[in-house]
Amino acid sequence: MKIHDITLMMEEGMTVWPGETAFVLQRDKKIEDGANANVSHLEMSVHTGTHVDAPFHFLSTGDTVENLLLELLIGKVVVVELDGQIGEVTREVVESIGLADGVKRVLFKTRNSDYWATGIQDFQEGFVGIDADASKLLVEKGIQLVGIDYLSVAPFKRSRPTHEILLAAKMVIIEGLDLSGVKPGEYTLYCLPLKLKHTDGAPARVILIEE
């Protein structure tokens, strides 16, 4: 059994969505200054780094993040690797990957993972996202969880159609995965988000287990 950690490191200066709260992590109590222990605090958007979106992120009456089912967040998953030339996940791209019947969870490894591998921290508007038509096809195929390796599952400036289609179908969305170190294939996914009450998303630790 091998564990692959596909979570982004959370640190000050990490890439965040334009206009969102910067990630803060500060040590307030320091042993070297006479404190009994080192104690730090953090501040962040709930959509920072590797995180899940809840339906409530884009749907006013959608479920909030504590209600995402652990039975969906855990289980068999397929990691699909797209050619580095592919700039957007379209219906044709989804058709071409030939997902087997019964697959419920899919993670898209795209050229986005190169951003993490090379340490680019400036926000990249040209990241690969999933378009509206491809999102509909994922719903039709019965996919219940989709993950991608940049900070949004949707192409830049087209957030709502993709999110709305996926979230209305109660699909779990994982964003900000670092898939640079994993090969395409089958794994067991453990995506465990913070148990935040009544909110629109949550940072998560996400791993793949290779049997």
Active site residues: 57
List of residues contacting a second copy (CB under 8 A): 3, 5, 7-11, 20-21, 25, 27-28, 31-32, 36-47, 49-50, 56-58, 60, 66, 70-71, 74, 159-160, 163, 190, 192-201, 203-207
How far is it, in rounded angstroms, from Cα 8 to Cα 25? 15
Q: How far is the CB of 14 from a second copy (least distance, A)?
A: 9
Q: How far is the CB of 193 from a second copy (least distance, A)?
A: 6
| SS3 at position 66 | helix
CB contact burial 141-177 (16+ within 10 A = b; e otherwise): eebbbbbbbbbbbbbbeebebbbbbbbebebbbbbbb
Tokens at 135, concatenated: 């999102």
How far is it, in rounded angstroms, from Cα 25 to Cα 27? 7
Q: How far is the CB of 201 from a second copy (least distance, A)?
A: 7
Q: Please, which residue, 80 or 132, has the CB nearer to a second copy?
A: 132
Q: Please, which residue, 28 or 83, has the CB nearer to a second copy?
A: 28
Q: Please, which residue, 72 or 86, has the CB nearer to a second copy?
A: 72
